[in-house]
Amino acid sequence: MRFTGVKGLHPHMQKILLTEEEIQSRVRQIAGQISSDYAGQDPLLVGILKGAFIFLADLVRYLTIPVQLDFIAVSSYGNASESSGAVRILKDLDQSIEGLHVLIVEDIVDTGLTLNYLRENLRAREPASLKVCTLLDKPSRRLVEVKIDYNGFVIPDEFVVGYGLDYNGHYRYFRDIMVLKREVYAR
């Protein structure tokens, strides 16, 4: 297990939830499913910035089909560890998605509010199909029902960081996914 520049468990972390090896093996499996489901369809993968950037980068390199990529950046109003439900697009897609097979790639679905908003927003642009792939799912916190087509891991109600996920911009670079100590975000 590697920690970039840090030996042992980082002092802000309570524990490792998912190791690099577990994550990579699951991402490879999901890529296999997507490759067979979308064979011949040249899908457009839409990464949700910033959290999904590492997941998406690994995912596309395990795929065995051609894909296109685009990115959308959203911010939910609220503080860093609680989402308020209102979503704002900070950076929109560069291209039209009308008639394309679109797969949203998200880091984590928590209350479901962000994904619900994005699904509706992208659906209105009339893609040929619209599905969702998320690395993590925290179903215990769901406020709105959202359909997830590909899910990496169901996780408990803990605030996690690493593998692209941050807290106030920190910890994204870790290869493992870890539970952040409550005292770090409660202070």
Residues that bind ligand 5GP (CB under 6 A): 51, 76, 83, 106-115, 159-161, 165-167
Structure-token pair, residue 47: 């990464």
In the residue annotation, 176 being an active-site residue is answered as no
Residue type, 87: V
Q: Which is nearer to ligand 5GP, 18 or 34 (CB)?
A: 18
Least distance (Å) from ligand 5GP to the CB of residue 44?
19
CA of 157: how far to CAs of 85, 134, 140, 154, in Å? 18, 16, 7, 10
Q: CA 79, 85, 86, 91 torsion: positive or negative?
A: positive
Q: Measured from the CB atom, is 32 or 88 closer to ligand 5GP?
A: 88
Name the minimum Å distance from CB 84 to ligand 5GP. 9
Q: What is the closest distance, in whole angstroms, from the C-beta atom of residue 56 to ligand 5GP in the complex?
A: 13
In the 8-state DSSP scheme, what is residue 181?
Answer: P
By beta-carbon proximity to ligand 5GP, the closer residue of 150 and 159 is 159
Number of Cβ within a 10 Å radius of residue 86: 11
CA distance 177 to 121: 29
CB of 106 to ligand 5GP, least distance (A): 6
Pick between residue 96 and residue 140 the one whose CB is nearest to ligand 5GP. Answer: 140
DSSP string, 35-70: HHHTTTS--EEEEEETTTHHHHHHHHHH--S--EEE
Q: Which residue is catalytic, options 110, 137, 149, 166?
A: 110
Which residues does the annotation mark as catalytic? 110
